[in-house]
Amino acid sequence: MNTLLTNIREQQPLVLNVANFVTMQHVADAINVVGASPLMTNEPQEAAELVGISSAVVLNIGTLSEAQWPLFLAVGQAANRQNKPVILDPVAVGMPYRAQFVRRLLANVHVDIIRGNASEIAWFAHAEVAGRGIDTLDQTTHQQEAELAAKNTGAVIVQTGVVDVITDGVKTQTVHTTSPLLAINVGAGDMLSGLIGAFAAVTDDYFAAGVAATELFGQAGERASAQVNQLPGHFIGALFNELYAMTQVEVTAR
Ligand SMILES: Nc1ncnc2c1ncn2[C@@H]1O[C@H](COP(=O)(O)OP(=O)(O)OP(=O)(O)O)[C@@H](O)[C@H]1O
Ligand SMILES: Cc1ncsc1CCO
Ligand SMILES: [Mg+2]
């Protein structure tokens, strides 16, 4: 039994998000259906007080602007001061502006978990991968890059793709759920990053949080894909239904 999921249902931790404006609603819904409580923020002045009532912080750079630098800094530093886990989703970090923003962020904020696709994680391994055609790399290379990214950053890395790789640079675990609809759903990665926040909110073991969230999300994605006969237009509702159902089973099975 996934005891972390039970902990989420019982504690209903608040997960604070600096979200992107494309997938914000889906991220809030995903966090909500597994039993945690989402809160989105866009005001640096309230960072300390919102972090104070939160159990994890998710920073997503999807629709970044320089005006948001004080927000990222205030929320990240408040989380560090208050010992709350910080999860980073480095959307398109290979692009130069985003790259220097993330470099600045990592110089000022300790990040506990980074969740990205293979191209994004490769940037943390090498810091020079824009347009490198990373998808042609084989899985062994992906895993080595995830481990190198973990060593470079000191963060647990959750690298998503056909196979998901979770590593702290020493121990590594792979998750083999296969859901093509997850791959094409805009925001699947953002939702997973939010769920990792929900799991990191209930344990200090961020490796375990990364594994549990990735397994849950992958399994829900597989079930939802089957439910809708692989039709993308019906997928998101089915995904929330399956995430919710799996959470209910976990709790009633106690
Ligand atoms: N080729 C694939 N086959 C099956 N599942 C995949 C594939 N690629 C990604 N996934 C799954 O999709 C989810 C999101 O991962 P992905 O790597 O697409 O994130 P992302 O690129 O950040 O997505 P987004 O930007 O849309 O949020 C993960 O659960 C991952 O396991
Ligand atoms: C499409 C898109 N553009 C910026 S963020 C985002 C959602 C995927 O992360
Ligand atoms: Mg993404």
Ligand 3 ion: residues within 5 Å (CB): 91, 189
Question: Does the annotation place 40 within a ligand binding site?
Answer: yes
Determine the atom of ligand 1 nearest the C-alpha atom of 185.
26
167 lines ligand 1 (CB under 6 A): no
Region 74-102: mean pLDDT is: 98
Q: How confident is the model at residue 127 (pLDDT cuts 50, 70, 90)?
A: low
| ipTM attached to this prediction | 0.98
Spatial distance between the Cα atoms of 138 and 122, rounded to a whole number of angstroms: 13
* Chain CA centroid to CA 234, Å: 23
Segment 54-81 shows an average pLDDT of 98
Instruction: Determine the distance separating the centroid of ligand 1 and the alpha carbon of 232, expressed in angstroms.
Output: 14
Q: Which long-range contacts (CB under 8 A, 24 or more apart) does 66-74 make?
A: 68/18, 68/42, 69/101, 69/104, 70/44, 71/18, 71/41, 71/42, 71/43, 71/44, 71/47, 72/18, 72/101, 72/105, 72/109, 73/44, 73/105, 73/108, 73/109, 74/44, 74/45, 74/47, 74/48
Is 169 known as a binding-site position?
no
Mean pLDDT of 14-42: 98
- For range 119-123, the mean pLDDT: 96
Q: Which residues contact 178 (CB under 8 A, 6 or more apart)?
A: 162, 218, 222
pLDDT of residue 249: 76
* Residue 96 or 129, more confident: 96
User: Which is higher by pLDDT, 24 or 139?
Assistant: 24
Q: For residue 89, give the ligand 2 atom closest to its CA.
A: 9
The confidence score (pLDDT) of residue 135 equals 55
The rounded distance, in Å, linking the Cα atoms of 129 and 138 is 16
Residues 194-214: pLDDT tens digits? 999 999 999 999 999 999 999
- Ligand 1 atom closest to the Cα of residue 89 is 22
pLDDT for res 134: 47
What's the confidence (pLDDT) of residue 206?
A: 98
145-173: average pLDDT = 97
Residue 182, ligand 1, Cβ within 6 A: yes
Q: Please give the CATH superfamily to which domain 2-243 belongs.
A: Ribokinase (3.40.1190.20)
* pLDDT number for residue 93: 97
Task: Decide if pLDDT at 253 tops 70.
Answer: no
Q: What is the mean pLDDT of residues 116-125?
A: 96
Residue 54: per-residue pLDDT: 99
Write down the pLDDT at residue 243: 97
Closest CA to 101 of 86, 117, 116, 90: 90
Task: Label residue 1 by pLDDT band (50, 70, 90).
Answer: very low
The helix (H) or strand (E) run that includes residue 99 is helix 96-108
Residue-averaged pLDDT of the chain: 94
Look at ligand 2, atom 5, and give the residue with the nearest C-alpha.
62
Q: Is the CB of 184 under 6 A from ligand 1?
A: no
